[in-house]
Structure 1
Amino acid sequence: MLFVGVLYPLIGLFVAAVTLEGALLPLFFPLVAGLSIVGPLVAAGFYEIAKRRAEGEEAGWSHFLDPLRPARRHGILAIGAMLIMLFFAWLLIAWTLYQATLGRLEPRGLGGFLHALFTTPEGWTLIVLGNAVGACIAALTLALTVVSVPMVVDKPVSGITAVRTSIRAVSANPMAMSRWGLMVALILAAACIPLFVSLAVALPVLGYATWHLYDMLVER
């Protein structure tokens, strides 16, 4: 569990190292933000452990990968494929927005990029549109996964059934789910600020909290 908690910050630091001084600089923020799209897959192990604890079963790091066992992994793999496609769709949209706005100015280096981003109309257009699209992608990810990933860990159901249940649960509780999504976004954003290191704590906490939210939303 500790390894998974530390792995995410390491991925964030790797993304920063690769993008900040290269041609992929405009994708730094979309890549970091996009990690939250696949975050529910990482949390599957935490769901498994939370489930075992709730049922009074043995719960340790050795059970973290149980959702990927052959008899249980079909739902996780189906949802994972959907989230990976959504992740790449987000990157494509982000790159298209950049090329249509700030890309026309061809800013050089990190300093030139930040200067153009915050001091030009094209930069502010990118900020507004990028955040608007990102919020929509985040809301879609929440609706698709807040119940579905815990459900395929909890029960032998198909990915499609789990996703449909998740959408229905969010539709039935729009205000509560909106508050939950906003809280998750704020926690992840705050955890990313000190070189991503706080993600090692935030991810397990959010994983266990999401499991208990699922337990309240869905009749098990």
Structure 2
Amino acid sequence: MDEQEPRIRPNGLPEDTRPFVAPCRHIEPLAPLRWLKKGWQDFRAAPVPSLVYGLVMVAMSYAITAATWWFGNMGLYLALISGFVFLGPILALNLYGISIQRQQNQTPTLGKSFRQVRSCIGDMLTFTVIMIVVFLVWARAANLIYIFYPVNEWHLENVLLFFGVGSSVGAMFCAIVFTASAFSLPMIMDRKTDMVTGVITSANAVLRNKLPLFIWACLIGLCLLVGLLTAYLGLAVLLPVLGYATWHGYRESIDATEWDARFELPPESSE
């Protein structure tokens, strides 16, 4: 009985020769500014689904704040807001779908993007479980910080100590999440690959391009700060722009051609 022939991919190589990690390209330090520009262009090209997504995120932010006000716990507020940031990459999957539709010269809609997200629901749920575990660990850490450094009396020394310790611990968690999620979920939406490969690819790209990705992380933090300072209203625009920019950052940074496209995209262009 003849042995089954190995499956041949479009690039002519057998499927079992596929690498474990997608190679990354060199990223210029100011490339994140170009990603933001392209994200803004995507927002202008699809304003209705982008604003609907953004307003839903604003409503969720208000719900988190209302819950915190009801329970009167600053530690809970910081934990929930941080958790919102942790889960942000997952919530941005629909935005990646809209970017894919634009590259296919389709009229972008959230309905189509939901159907696209369903095609990678398994890996998305795996990543969600991992992020929830990280979030729960951070929530416990935030509550412990609040217990050991209470700010009920709002003395300046206590407030500075609380936010200093909390920010340091939170930055550590955010760095881990950012490294794992910077490009992993866009890769999952783009290519027929698994979550482990996506996370390793993302971590490899971040570690090999520390300066530009640090700048990108700072830009994300700055946009979120602007959203907070505008009573969350700025997030209605900034979050969709960041989601689209992340997609363009992935397309410029990761060479994932060894994997079959999940959706039929045009060949990558050197933009």
TM-score range, shorter chain: 0.7 to 0.9
Among 227, 247, 258, the alignment partner of 1:191 is 227
Counterpart position of 1:6: 55
Return closer, same or farther for 1:81/1:67 CA change in 2, 3 Å cut-off: farther
Give TM-score, length-normalised by structure 1: 0.87
Are positions 1:90 and 2:126 aligned together?
Answer: no
Q: What is the RMSD computed on CA atoms of the aligned residues?
A: 1.7
Which piece of structure 1 moves more, 205-214 or 58-67? 58-67
Residues 105-184 of structure 1: matches in 2 within 5 Å?
107=152, 112=153, 115-116=154-155, 119-120=156-157, 122-184=158-220
Which piece of structure 1 moves more, 15-24 or 155-164? 15-24
C-alpha deviation, 1:26, in angstroms: 2.7
Given that 1:67 and 1:73 are in contact with CA atoms closer than 8 Å, whether structure 2 keeps it comes out as no
Given that 1:150 and 1:214 are in contact with CA atoms closer than 8 Å, whether structure 2 keeps it comes out as yes
C-alpha deviation, 1:61, in angstroms: 2.3
Counterpart position of 1:73: 121
1: CA distance, partners of 2:179 / 2:74: 30
Which piece of structure 1 moves more, 140-149 or 51-60? 51-60
2: CA distance, partners of 1:162 / 1:53: 23
2: CA distance, partners of 1:159 / 1:153: 10
Counterpart position of 1:45: 94
More helix by share: 1
The one-letter code sitting in structure 2 at the alignment partner of 1:24 is N
C-alpha deviation, 1:52, in angstroms: 2.4
Given that 1:18 and 1:24 are in contact with CA atoms closer than 8 Å, whether structure 2 keeps it comes out as no
C-alpha deviation, 1:58, in angstroms: 4.7
2: CA distance, partners of 1:170 / 1:215: 14
Counterpart position of 1:63: 112
2: CA distance, partners of 1:138 / 1:171: 15
Given that 1:67 and 1:76 are in contact with CA atoms closer than 8 Å, whether structure 2 keeps it comes out as no
Runs of 4+ in 1 over 6 A off after TM superposition: none
Unaligned runs of 5+ in 2: 1-48, 257-271
Unaligned runs of 5+ in 1: none
C-alpha deviation, 1:163, in angstroms: 0.5
Secondary structure in 2 matching 1:65: helix
Listed one character per residue, the Cα deviations across residues 39-91 of structure 1 (whole Å, up to 9, x for unaligned) are 0011111111112222434532221212432x421111111111121122111
1: CA distance, partners of 2:168 / 2:108: 40
1: CA distance, partners of 2:79 / 2:130: 18
Q: Which has the higher contact order (CA 8 A, sep 6+)?
A: 2
2: CA distance, partners of 1:142 / 1:26: 22
C-alpha deviation, 1:156, in angstroms: 1.4
C-alpha deviation, 1:146, in angstroms: 0.9
Flag the structure with larger Rg.
2
Counterpart position of 2:237: 201
The one-letter code sitting in structure 1 at the alignment partner of 2:65 is A
Q: How many residues align?
A: 207
Percent identity between the two aligned chains: 26
